[in-house]
């Protein structure tokens, strides 16, 4: 049995979208270093519930770092201090006994807070709906090597497709820009032959909706790349810029 951690938590509590929120102090005792960050919050919630208090609302689903549901900022860092890790995969051994942890929701106008740490991320869905897909049926799985894709492109597309759409890039960016998310989606589709056909229309439509949703402008600070739990690179943002320039210059109807 390892020694448990005693932590002071300052958690953002907000009743609903229209009410004002504030940080509230909590203490958790004897937290196992083997617990995940979310399990630590579960422990707190059990205690709150047994005291008849409202548990802290936070999003979670897979707890395996693949669904992108979990979303909270720990001491100013989206998904906490561990690089390339979602907060559900973050272990409490990363912290020391006596630490104070400030836990806040993603902060962006395009992601309104629904309750406590839960934010509305359907702005991302609307960006995807604007063009983050291939409209034509691509048929069933083609014969091996029937569609030739250079290994490098396959790898780059795969790296971009690792994006789980959690929104940590928006949360980390000082401008609340969604460029890394859009860049990942545009990259993973435009690098593959099936996605090339609609590449121009896609990039213009997705960027248009991204702007409409009220995300900020990218100023190349690179904070998104640092905080992305899937380590998506800003090289993808350069590709997005490139694709957008090409599409804007060539488009006949803009």
Query: Least distance in Å: CB of 245 to ligand FES?
Result: 33
**119 close to 112: Cβ distance less than 8 angstroms:** yes
Candidates 43-51, 54-62, 125-133, 220-228; binding stretch for ligand FES (CB under 6 A) = 54-62
Tokens representing 198 are: 């609609």
Q: Round to whole Å and give the CA distance between 201 and 185.
A: 14
How many of the other CB atoms lie within 10 Å of CB of 116?
A: 24
Paired residues of 201 in beta bridges: none
Q: Is 166 a residue that touches other proteins (CB under 8 A)?
A: no
Structure-token match 């999003």, residue found:
59
Residue 86, binding choice from other proteins, ligand FES, none, Cβ under 5 to 8 Å by partner class: ligand FES
Q: Is 108 a residue that touches other proteins (CB under 8 A)?
A: yes
Q: Round to whole Å and give the CA distance between 242 and 179.
A: 13
Choose which of 9, 176, 184, 209 interacts with other proteins (CB under 8 A).
176
Q: Is 253 exposed, middle or buried (0-12, 13-18, 19+ CB in 10 A)?
A: exposed
Which residue, among 186, 188, 175, has the nearest Cα to 223 in the 3D structure?
175
Number of residues that bind ligand FES (CB under 6 A): 12
Which residue, among 41, 60, 67, 118, has the nearest Cα to 230 in the 3D structure?
67
Q: Is 199 a residue that touches other proteins (CB under 8 A)?
A: no
Residue 61, binding choice from ligand FES, other proteins, none, Cβ under 5 to 8 Å by partner class: ligand FES
Closer residue to ligand FES in complex, CB, 59/213: 59
Residue 88, binding choice from ligand FES, other proteins, none, Cβ under 5 to 8 Å by partner class: ligand FES
**Which residues are near ligand FES by CB under 6 A?**
60-63, 65-70, 86, 88
**Which residues are near other proteins by CB under 8 A?**
10, 12, 23, 73, 75-78, 102, 104, 107-110, 172, 174-177, 179, 207-208, 210-211, 214-223, 226-227, 234-235, 237-245, 248, 254
């Amino acid at each position: 049995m390892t020694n448990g951690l005693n932590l002071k938590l300052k958690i953002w509590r907000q009743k609903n979208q229209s009410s004002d929120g504030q940080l509230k102090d909590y203490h958790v005792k004897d937290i196992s270093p083997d617990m995940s960050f979310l399990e630590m919050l579960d422990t707190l919630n059990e205690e709150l519930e047994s005291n008849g208090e409202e548990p802290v609302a936070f999003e979670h689903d897979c707890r395996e770092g693949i669904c992108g549901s979990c979303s909270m900022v720990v001491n100013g860092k989206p998904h906490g201090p561990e690089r390339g890790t979602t907060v559900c995969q973050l272990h409490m051994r990363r912290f020391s006994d006596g630490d104070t942890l400030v836990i806040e929701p993603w902060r962006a106008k395009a992601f309104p807070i629904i309750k406590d740490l839960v934010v509305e991320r359907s702005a991302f869905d609307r960006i995807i709906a604007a063009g983050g897909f291939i409209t034509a049926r691509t048929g069933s799985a083609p014969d091996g090597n029937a569609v030739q894709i250079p290994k490098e492109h396959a790898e780059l597309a795969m790296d971009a497709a690792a994006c789980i759409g959690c929104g940590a890039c928006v949360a980390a960016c000082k401008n609340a820009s969604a460029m890394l998310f859009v860049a990942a989606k545009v990259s993973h589709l435009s690098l593959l032959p099936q996605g090339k056909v609609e590449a121009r229309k896609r990039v213009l439509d997705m960027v248009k909706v991204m702007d409409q949703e009220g995300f900020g402008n990218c100023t190349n600070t690179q904070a998104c790349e640092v905080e992305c739990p899937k380590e998506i690179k800003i090289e993808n943002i350069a590709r997005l810029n490139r694709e957008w320039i090409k599409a804007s210059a060539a488009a006949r109807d803009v």
